[in-house]
C-alpha cells in the first residue's frame, strides 16, 4: 500500500504543478493586462498628489471628460476604505458597482480619486474559464489513475467473495503494472496456504476413517474371541500369539497417530524452528549406527574428510534421514549408501538403495501425504506420511528434496542451498 500512496501522491502533485504552472504562464503572457490598465490612473493620481489640494479639482475639470471613465475627487472620509488600504499611492483598489461595472480608487495625498463606474474588461471572464479547465484536467488525470485501480479492486472484491464461498482454488490475476499487485500476491499466498490446510484436513479425515478402521476392527474381533483363548485348557502358545497380534494392531495405530502428530506439528512450527549450527557428519553417523542395529542391511557412509556444518534444526534433519534410511531398508536388495557432499551451490545428503525402484507414475506424487505406491513389494505397508514429512521438513528449512529412480536404483537427495550466513 506504500507504493499505492506514493504513486497517487506523486501523480497528483506533479499534475497540480504542471498544469498550474502552464496555465498561469499562458494567463500572464496573453491575458493578464491589469497592470497596464491601471497605469494611467496611477500616473494621474501621482500628478494630482504633487499639486496643492485646492488646485486638484481644477486640474480634473480641465481634463476632457470621458463618459466611460468618469473621474471624481473625494475626501478620505467620503469612502469606506481604511487609511491602511489607501496608504500606497500607486495601488488601485477595485470594488464592484453592478454585474458589469466596477469602481476604482487610488490615494491622492489625503484625498481619494475615484474612477467609474467602469465597464469590466470582458477578457477577465476568461480567468474563470481557465480555472474550470484547470480543474477538469485535474479530474481527468485522477480518473486515469483511479479507473484501473477501481477495476483491480473490483477484481479483488470478487475473488474474496468467491473464496468466502468455499471456492478454494480462487486466485487473482492482475497485470504487472497494477498498483495493487502486492495485495493480490498476498491474497494468492494466503489462499494457497488455506487450500493446503483444508486438503491436509481432508487427508487426515481419510486417514482416521480408513487407516485406523482396519486395526480397530481386528481388535474388536480379537476382543470378541478373547474369552475363548483365556480358558484354562486353551493352548498357551496360541494365546500368546493371539495377544502378540493384538499388540501389533495397537502398535500400528500408535505409529499412525505419531506420524499424524509429527506431520501436523511441522505445520504449526512454521515460525518456531530452532536453527543452530550442527555437525552434519556426526549427526548422520549417529543416525546410521542407531538404525543399523535394527536391520541387517548394510549401510555405507560416504563423507568428506572435513567436517560439514549445517544451519538447521538437528532433530528434524535426523528425522528426515531416518525416514529415508527406513524406506531404503524396506526395499533394498543390497547395501544402502549414504553420501554427504558440499559444493559452491550448497550441501547435499543422499540415500541410495538398489531395490526395484519407484514406478514412474508414482514419482510425481510420492511426496504427497497419505499417498502410497502401488509397487508390489510395498505391499500396502506404511501410512504414506514418511516422505510427506520429509518434504515438509525441507520446506521449513527453505531446502529441497529430490528423487531419481529406475529399476535397481533409487536415490533421494536432501539439498540445502548456500545462504549468506554460510
Question: Residue 321: is its pLDDT beyond 90?
Answer: yes
CB 268: neighbour CB atoms within 10 A? 8
Which of 40, 96, 81, 34 has its CA nearest to residue 63? Answer: 40
Q: CA triplet 39, 45, 48: central angle to 5 degrees?
A: 145
Q: Please compute the mean of the pLDDT values over residues 45-66 and round it to a whole number.
A: 77
pLDDT band of residue 403 (cuts 50, 70, 90) is: very high
Q: β-strand 309-312 against 299-302: which pairing, if any? A: unpaired
pLDDT band of residue 376 (cuts 50, 70, 90) is: very low
Q: Please compute the mean of the pLDDT values over residues 7-36 and round it to a whole number.
A: 65
pLDDT band of residue 334 (cuts 50, 70, 90) is: confident
* Cα 77 to Cα 81, 112, 321, distances in angstroms: 9, 9, 104
* Owner of C-alpha cell 505397508: 381
Q: Please compute the mean of the pLDDT values over residues 63-86 and round it to a whole number.
A: 70
pLDDT of 327 reads 87
Kind plus residue range of the DSSP H or E element containing 99 = none
Residue partners of 154: CB distance under 8 A and separation at least 6? none
DSSP codes of every residue in 32-66: --HHHHHHHHHHHHHHHHTS-HHHHHHHHHHSPP-
Could you report the per-residue pLDDT of 103-138, keeping only the tens digit for each?
A: 778 877 778 878 777 777 665 566 667 767 777 777
Residue partners of 348: CB distance under 8 A and separation at least 6? 339, 340, 341, 342, 413, 414, 415, 416
Q: CA triplet 277, 279, 281: central angle to 5 degrees?
A: 150
- Greatest alpha-carbon span in the chain: 154
Residues 160, 186 contacting (CB under 8 angstroms): no
Distance (Å, rounded) from C-alpha 112 to C-alpha 105? 7
Q: How far apart are the first and last CA of the chain?
A: 34
Q: Which residue has the higher pLDDT, 421 or 314?
A: 314
Could you report the per-residue pLDDT of 198-233, keeping only the tens digit for each?
A: 877 776 677 667 667 777 888 888 888 878 777 777
Reduce the secondary structure of 326-376 to three states and give it as a string: HHHHHHCCCCEEEEEEECCCEEEEEEEECCCCCCHHHHCCCCCCCCCCCCC
- The torsion region of residue 408 among left (phi > 0), alpha (psi -120 to 50) and beta comes to left
Q: Which residue has the higher pLDDT, 13 or 362?
A: 362
Which stretch of 39-43, 276-280, 291-295 has the lowest confidence by average pLDDT? 39-43
Question: Residue 379: is its pLDDT beyond 50?
Answer: no
360 burial (CB, 10 Å; 0-12 / 13-18 / 19+) is exposed
Kind plus residue range of the DSSP H or E element containing 309 = strand 309-312
Amino acid at each position: 500500500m506504500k507504493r499505492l500512496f506514493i504513486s497517487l501522491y506523486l501523480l497528483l502533485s506533479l499534475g497540480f504543478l504542471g498544469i498550474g504552472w502552464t496555465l498561469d504562464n499562458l494567463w500572464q503572457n496573453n491575458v493578464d493586462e491589469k497592470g497596464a490598465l491601471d497605469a494611467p490612473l496611477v500616473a494621474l493620481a501621482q500628478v494630482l498628489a504633487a499639486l496643492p489640494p485646492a488646485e486638484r479639482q481644477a486640474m480634473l475639470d480641465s481634463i476632457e471628460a470621458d463618459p466611460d471613465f468618469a473621474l471624481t475627487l473625494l475626501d478620505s472620509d467620503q469612502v469606506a476604505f481604511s487609511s491602511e488600504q489607501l496608504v500606497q499611492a500607486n495601488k488601485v483598489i477595485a470594488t464592484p458597482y453592478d454585474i458589469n461595472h466596477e469602481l476604482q480608487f487610488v490615494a491622492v495625498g489625503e484625498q481619494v480619486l475615484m474612477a467609474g463606474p467602469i465597464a469590466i474588461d470582458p477578457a477577465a471572464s476568461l480567468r474563470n474559464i481557465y480555472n474550470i479547465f484547470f480543474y477538469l484536467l485535474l479530474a481527468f488525470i485522477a480518473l486515469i489513475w483511479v479507473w484501473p485501480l477501481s477495476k483491480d479492486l473490483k477484481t479483488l472484491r470478487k475473488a474474496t467473495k468467491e473464496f468466502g464461498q468455499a471456492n478454494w482454488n480462487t486466485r487473482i490475476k492482475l497485470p504487472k503494472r497494477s498498483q495493487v499487485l502486492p495485495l493480490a500476491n498476498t491474497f494468492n499466498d494466503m489462499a494457497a496456504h488455506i487450500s493446503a490446510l483444508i486438503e491436509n484436513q481432508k487427508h487426515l479425515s481419510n486417514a482416521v476413517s480408513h487407516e485406523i478402521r482396519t486395526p480397530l476392527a481386528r481388535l474388536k474381533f480379537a476382543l470378541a474371541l478373547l474369552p475363548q483363548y483365556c480358558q484354562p485348557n486353551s493352548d498357551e502358545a496360541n494365546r500368546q500369539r493371539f495377544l502378540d497380534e493384538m499388540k501389533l494392531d495397537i502398535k500400528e495405530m500408535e505409529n499412525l497417530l505419531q506420524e499424524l502428530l509429527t506431520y501436523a506439528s511441522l505445520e504449526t512450527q512454521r515460525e518456531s524452528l530452532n536453527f543452530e549450527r550442527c555437525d552434519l557428519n556426526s549427526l548422520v553417523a549417529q543416525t546410521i549406527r542407531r538404525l543399523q542395529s535394527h536391520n541387517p542391511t548394510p549401510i555405507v557412509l560416504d563423507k568428506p574428510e572435513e567436517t560439514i556444518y549445517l544451519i538447521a534444526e538437528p532433530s528434524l534433519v535426523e528425522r528426515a534421514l531416518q525416514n529415508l534410511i527406513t524406506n531404503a531398508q524396506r526395499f533394498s536388495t543390497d547395501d544402502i549408501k549414504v553420501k554427504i557432499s558440499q559444493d559452491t551451490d550448497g550441501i547435499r545428503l543422499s540415500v541410495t538403495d538398489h531395490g526395484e525402484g519407484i514406478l514412474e507414475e508414482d514419482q510425481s506424487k510420492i511426496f504427497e501425504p497419505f499417498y502410497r505406491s502401488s509397487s508390489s513389494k510395498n505391499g500396502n505397508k506404511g501410512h504414506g506420511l514418511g516422505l510427506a514429512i520429509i518434504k515438509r521438513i525441507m520446506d521449513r528449512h527453505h531446502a529441497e528434496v529430490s528423487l531419481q529412480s529406475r529399476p535397481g536404483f533409487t536415490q533421494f537427495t536432501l539439498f540445502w542451498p548456500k545462504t549468506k550466513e554460510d
